Amino acid sequence: MRQMRMAAYALAVTLTLSGLALAQRVRDDDDYDRGRYPNAAQTEQYGYQNGYRDGLQKGRHEGRENDPGDFRSREWQNASDGYQSWMGPFEAFRHGYREGYREGFEAGLR
């Protein structure tokens, strides 16, 4: 009986600590907005350029098919095409990518 209690206690401690670690990681991903990363603006620009290129290509395709549909494709959802860790925080890249993709898609439809 004592072993079962100890196992349950160990499991509870492990789950609690893993939850705290996950919360810390999520908070760190959002810190780029507060200027924690000096290259976040550059990272966002990398994302914008990659997203614009991909969105423009998709918009042109949809324009040729006469199906302007929604720009929120799988690429837009993932927002990771072209990302490299040396660029900086992924969330900054993702933000720029999605904005660039949307604008590129709209430009490609014209």
CA distances from 22 to 13, 17, 63 (A): 14, 9, 42
Domain definitions of the chain by residue range? 1-36, 39-110
Q: DSSP secondary-structure letter at 86?
A: G
31 three-class SS: helix
Residue 37 has a pLDDT of 62
For residue range 59-89, list pLDDT tens digits in order.
898 888 776 676 677 777 788 888 988 888 8
Residue 65 has a pLDDT of 77
Global pTM?
A: 0.61
Q: 3-state DSSP: the chain helix, strand, coil percent, rounded to 5?
A: 80, 0, 20
Residue 73 has a pLDDT of 76
CA distances from 34 to 4, 12, 15 (A): 46, 34, 30
Q: d(Cα 110, Cα 102) in Å, to the nearest integer?
A: 13
For residue range 94-104, list pLDDT tens digits in order.
999 999 999 99
Average pLDDT, the chain: 76
For residue range 18-66, list pLDDT tens digits in order.
544 434 444 444 445 545 565 788 999 999 999 999 999 988 988 887 7
